[in-house]
Amino acid sequence: MQSRVDKAVQTFESGYGCAQSVFATYADLFGIDRETALKLASPMGGGIGRMREVCGTVSAMALLAGLKEGNTDPSDEEGREKIYLLVREMSDSFRRENGTIICRELLGIKGREQSAKPGKRTQEYYESRPCSRLVACAAKIIEEMLLEDMD
């Protein structure tokens, strides 16, 4: 499979949220159309609803892991453990590269922002934040850990 890392970054830099950019770039590989992918991932941006909690790119990785390996049987404890382990491994890889999976820590923000309104997307916005690099990081992890056997 050809890498889609650049596509994920371009999607983000065209105005979509971080989670949307990562999730929608790969969702078609799991039978999810782009519009549905964008809708599903939209509330995960900004650290889930701009609360600056878990980075939206990490949430998108978890959602994609669920599409590939998620379990649907509530009595399948091994299946639950398997998906939780995969999400932990992906998150640990992200944390090793970036120091944390928490949005506000990645952005250097203290506490929860008061407004839910996203910042205006300008060239300065993109240059002042690590988000494009974080989108690329999450996309690389997806390609290495979820897609290596999907050709």
pLDDT tens, 63-99? 999 999 999 999 999 999 999 999 999 999 999 999 9
Q: CA dihedral defined by 112, 118, 120, 123, rounded to 10 degrees?
A: 70
Judge whether 124 and 47 are in contact, CB under 8 Å. no
Q: Does the pLDDT value for residue 51 go beyond 90?
A: yes
More confident residue, 45 or 119: 45
Burial class (CB within 10 angstroms; exposed 0-12, middle 13-18, buried 19+) of 96: exposed
Q: How many CB atoms lie within 10 A of CB 62?
A: 21
Q: What is the pLDDT of residue 18?
A: 97
> Does residue 76 fall inside a structural domain?
yes
What does the pLDDT average to over 17-30?
98
**What CA–CA distance (Å, rounded) separates 54 from 58?**
7
Q: Please give the tally of structural domains in the chain.
A: 1
> Does residue 45 fall inside a structural domain?
yes
> Does residue 105 fall inside a structural domain?
yes
> Does residue 62 fall inside a structural domain?
yes
Range of the domain at 123: 5-145
Judge whether 102 and 47 are in contact, CB under 8 Å. yes
> Does residue 138 fall inside a structural domain?
yes
> Does residue 49 fall inside a structural domain?
yes
| Three-class secondary structure of residue 41 per DSSP | helix
89 HSE (CA, 13 A, CB side): 12
Confidence label for 110 from pLDDT (cuts 50, 70 and 90): confident
> Does residue 151 fall inside a structural domain?
no
Tokens found for residue 119:
């910042």
Question: Considering only CA atoms, which of 89, 68, 90 is closest in space to residue 79?
Answer: 68
> Does residue 150 fall inside a structural domain?
no
Q: What is the pLDDT of residue 151?
A: 60
Q: Does the pLDDT value for residue 5 go beyond 90?
A: yes
Confidence label for 114 from pLDDT (cuts 50, 70 and 90): confident
Q: Does the pLDDT value for residue 53 go beyond 90?
A: yes
Predicted model pTM: 0.94
Contacts of residue 64, Cβ cutoff 8 Å, sequence gap at least 6: 22, 23, 26, 27, 30, 142, 146
